[in-house]
């Protein structure tokens, strides 16, 4: 190897050490700062998947806009679904600061190269599912995103601050809807419990595989992209959600769930990781339907993008 080559290696190692020292001092990394290629790639992977989740997440809820039982519920649901679209846009923009184009990220979603959250591959079968998504799915997202709001990459952490505020509204409207149903007729109570039974375990899976099975966690935690492990965040979600379920009379569908007086945490039953793997690898109940809907929406919207581009070109000349 040439002397020049050796000098470059030494320089890169020094830069990586300085980068790590910066992270350890709690400093924030901004787009123009030097960063290891692997840090950039990991953030693009995670942020693009996050943005895709927000956008794909509009589909199961969007299905219910025309079937909302009252004008007020319809207005709330419309606002929530629009918020999710906005979250996707903030996060795509934040990811673009890492040198990737939004079109490329969307292509990765459409060709199955990029993932999105497993939770959106489950169907919404009844109106209570809209409550469960707000309470459990947004509730899980808040636990995860409150931590991400303190992550080391500036544009991502700043996007999370506004997103978390909106997710809090989503979470409260979902819980309020289920609380209302649990005070209603026997049929409403059964519908709410049925939804809880179907969404509880998939919500726990949102936090990703258990720590011993999470290939990306160690690196992401060293770089303070992740501040807590998948299992720690899952536990935090369980601890805060179980008392909320009990307060409105919903039963958690886990016979092994019990509060440990010594650790002050809930212990839970085994998560079905085989189901998680199936869903993540494209074989969940709605994977194909969700991707088809996104690909169609993209194709249907092409004329708008073309028109905007033609207009921009005309006015730039
Ligand atoms: N679903 O090494 P691991 C919302 C993948 S939307 C699918 O632990 P990592 C909302 C993982 O990508 C909020 N895939 O990964 C919207 C990796 O595969 P690749 C969504 C999953 O990155 C509308 C492999 O499994 N929130 O709030 O260290 C309506 C190994 O995992 C999942 C976010 O996206 C999963 N659940 O940790 C309502 C948060 N879990 O990429 C609500 C941002 C794992 O190596 N993302 N995988 O092929 C994160 O915090 C992290 O990426 C994760 C995974 C905790 C999800």
Evaluate if residue 6 carries a pLDDT over 90. Answer: no
The CA-to-CA distance between both ends of the chain, in Å, stands at 50
Produce one character per residue of 283-293: b if its CB has 16 or more CB atoms within 10 Å, e if not: ebebbeebbeb
Q: What pLDDT shows up at residue 2?
A: 56
The percent of residues in the chain predicted with pLDDT above 90, rounded, is 95
Instruction: Report the separation in Å between the CA atom of 15 and the middle of ligand 1, taken as the mean of its atom positions.
Output: 29
State the chain's mean pLDDT as an integer.
96
3-state secondary structure 111-164: CCCCCCCHHHHCCCCCCHHHHHHHHHHHHHHHHHHHHHCCCCEHHHHHHHHHHH
Percentages helix, strand, coil for the chain (3-state, rounded to 5) are 70, 5, 25
Shortest-distance atom of ligand 1 to CA 134: 38
Q: Which of 56, 212, 216 to mutate to test the pocket of ligand 1 (most atoms within 8 A of CB)?
A: 216
Whether the model clears a pTM of 0.75, i.e. scores above it, the answer is yes
Burial of 25 (0-12, 13-18, 19+ CB in 10 A): exposed
**Closest C-alpha residue for ligand 1 atom 48:** 115
User: Mean pLDDT over residues 159-185, rounded?
Assistant: 97
Shortest-distance atom of ligand 1 to CA 118: 1
Ligand 1 in reach of 115 Cβ (< 6 A):
yes
| Residue 53: closest CA among 140, 146, 129, 178 | 140
Q: What pLDDT shows up at residue 178?
A: 98
Q: Residues 100-132: pLDDT tens digits?
A: 999 999 999 999 999 999 999 999 999 999 999
Q: What pLDDT shows up at residue 12?
A: 81
Asked which of 5-9, 76-80, 209-213, 267-271 is least confident by mean pLDDT, the reply is: 5-9
The gap from C-alpha 10 to its chain's centroid, in whole angstroms, comes to: 38
pLDDT band of residue 224 (cuts 50, 70, 90) is: very high
Produce one character per residue of 236-270: b if its CB has 16 or more CB atoms within 10 Å, e if not: bbbeebbebbeebebebebeebeeeeeeeebebee
Instruction: Report the separation in Å between the CA atom of 265 and the middle of ligand 1, taken as the mean of its atom positions.
Output: 24
Structural contact between residues 91 and 51, judged by C-beta atoms closer than 8 angstroms: yes
Ligand 1 in reach of 279 Cβ (< 6 A):
no
pLDDT band of residue 292 (cuts 50, 70, 90) is: very high
Evaluate if residue 9 carries a pLDDT over 80. Answer: no
Beta-carbon-side half-sphere exposure of residue 98 (alpha carbons within 13 Å): 26
Structural contact between residues 199 and 133, judged by C-beta atoms closer than 8 angstroms: yes
Evaluate if residue 75 carries a pLDDT over 60. Answer: yes
């Amino acid at each position: 190897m040439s002397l020049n080559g050796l000098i470059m290696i030494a320089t890169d190692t020094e830069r990586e050490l300085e980068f790590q020292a910066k992270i350890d001092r709690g400093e924030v990394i901004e787009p123009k700062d030097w960063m290891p290629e692997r840090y950039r790639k990991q953030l693009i992977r995670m942020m693009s998947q996050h943005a895709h989740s927000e956008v794909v997440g509009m589909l199961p809820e969007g299905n219910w806009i025309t079937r909302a039982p009252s004008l007020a519920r319809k207005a709330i649901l419309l606002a929530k679904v629009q918020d999710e679209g906005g979250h996707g846009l903030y996060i795509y923009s934040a990811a673009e600061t890492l040198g990737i184009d939004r079109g490329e990220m969307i292509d990765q979603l459409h060709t199955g190269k990029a993932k999105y959250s497993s939770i959106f591959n489950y169907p919404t079968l009844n109106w209570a599912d809209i409550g469960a998504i707000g309470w459990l799915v947004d509730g899980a997202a808040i636990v995860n995103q409150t931590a991400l709001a303190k992550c080391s990459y500036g544009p991502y952490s700043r996007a999370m601050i506004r997103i978390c505020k909106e997710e809090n509204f989503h979470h409260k409207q979902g819980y309020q809807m289920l609380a209302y149903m649990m005070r209603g007729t026997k049929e409403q109570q059964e519908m709410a419990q049925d939804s809880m039974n179907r969404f509880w375990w998939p919500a726990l899976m949102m936090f990703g595989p258990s720590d011993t099975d999470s290939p990306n966690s160690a690196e992401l935690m060293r770089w303070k992209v992740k501040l807590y492990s998948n299992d720690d965040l899952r536990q935090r979600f369980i601890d805060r959600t179980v008392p909320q379920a009990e307060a409105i009379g919903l039963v958690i569908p886990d016979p092994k769930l019990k509060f440990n007086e010594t650790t002050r945490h809930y212990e839970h039953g085994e998560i079905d990781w085989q189901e998680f793997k199936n869903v993540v690898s494209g074989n969940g109940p709605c994977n194909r339907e969700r991707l088809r809907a996104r690909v169609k929406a993209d194709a249907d919207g092409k004329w708008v993008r073309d028109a905007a581009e033609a207009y921009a070109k005309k006015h730039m000349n």
